Amino acid sequence: MRIGCLQFAPQVGDVSNNLTRADAVLAKADPKELEGLDLLVLPEMAFSGYNFKSLEDILPFLEPTGSGITSLWARTTALKYDCTVAVGYPEKVESPGPQGSAPEYYNSLLVVNGEGETVANYRKSSLYYTDETWAHEGPGFFGGHIGELGQVAMGICMDINPYKFEAPWHAFEFAFHVLEARANLVIVSMAWLTQEDRSTFTPFPEDPDFSTLTYWVRRLEPVIRAESGEEVIVVFCNRCGIEDEVTYAGTSTVIGIKDGEVSVYGLLGRGVRELLIVDTDKPPFAKLVDRPEQPVCSEDQSASTQPPQSTEKDASQPEPERGTEPTGSPTTCSMGATTSSKDARRGGL
């Protein structure tokens, strides 16, 4: 399967320019690598931006279900590249009630196939603090068959965390959903932050944020421990850049989980605006290995010995202690292969 992750840096409320930014990333990609693309994934709330402070702030940017500017872009792009497109957007639903229409609002992920048809519209189930100011919870994680992609599970960012940061770490709600759905493909669209200080995080845009990657993988522990002989492909498509006081972690990646091992097909830096394209029918360029004593990343850098800090904080600790290691949590995963930055970004193609 040929998969693309479009990592870019939208700005909150700047829809027209955000569309241009996404198009520019696609235009910069090698046309030959876009040939035969099966799936293109974009970040959470890709064109509206994410960091809205209230319902009043986001109201002008809400889109009708599958028929706004995001839908138009997705259909146009899906037809152009003959691929399935998954893209996040803020959704407005008019729900008739006894006293008239009562609108509902969701943080959603639209999926359009290569013929321009909507094949799924997933609504985020586990809301982060920012979403809670305006969005309703969706009815549950998505699991179902989507054309040639096969059996698919979908989530949005906070969905991979413990529910409301109140559920126990080991509940692994999303990971168990992946197993129950018997998914061969997992799509996670994200606007995942870093908790690292901006002054130390942003000077190295080409470097992946291995603390963030480690955290994402740890949240899939039940899928890894299932040791299935059938590979599960997981697409983490994150955004990068800065909105107001928040800095996004980038590090979009495509991994494969099989027989208890985690392979890496492609990985972007924390701050690059780039299209990651991988072919999961080709060998991965690296594996993630379990080194709890001394985490080491793939590019001869020392990965942080601090526990990973999620966009939407590590739920396993009390509020004042965001960043302490959760008791009984899985051991840290780290890159266990040496690769070049170029190979990491291009997925070894």
Closest CA to 339 of 266, 282, 289: 266
pLDDT in tens, 231-286: 999 999 999 999 999 999 999 999 999 999 999 999 999 999 999 999 999 999 99
How far is it, in rounded angstroms, from Cα 330 to Cα 290?
10
Q: pTM of the predicted model, to two decimals?
A: 0.85
CA distances from 315 to 42, 237, 309, 312, 329 (A): 26, 21, 10, 8, 11
The most confident of 274-283, 288-297, 337-346, by mean pLDDT: 274-283
Tracing tokens 């320019």 back to the chain, one arrives at 17
For residue 242, give both structure tokens.
């800065």
- For the domain that residue 99 is a member of, what is the CATH number? 3.60.110.10
Q: Which residue range is the domain that position 160 belongs to?
A: 2-346
Contact 27, 173 (CB under 8 A): no
Name every residue whose Cβ is closer than 8 Å to that of residue 313 and which is 6 or more positions away in sequence: 165, 195, 322
Q: Determine which of 74-83, 113-122, 153-162, 338-347 has the lowest per-residue pLDDT on average.
A: 338-347
For residues 269 and 202, what is the distance between their CA atoms, to the nearest angstrom?
11
Q: What are 65-119's pLDDT values in tens digits?
A: 989 999 999 999 999 999 999 999 999 998 776 666 789 999 999 999 999 999 9
Q: Decide: helix, strand or coil at residue 129.
A: helix
The residue among 114, 132, 115 whose CA lies nearest residue 124 is 132
Q: Based on the structure, what is the number of domains in the chain?
A: 1
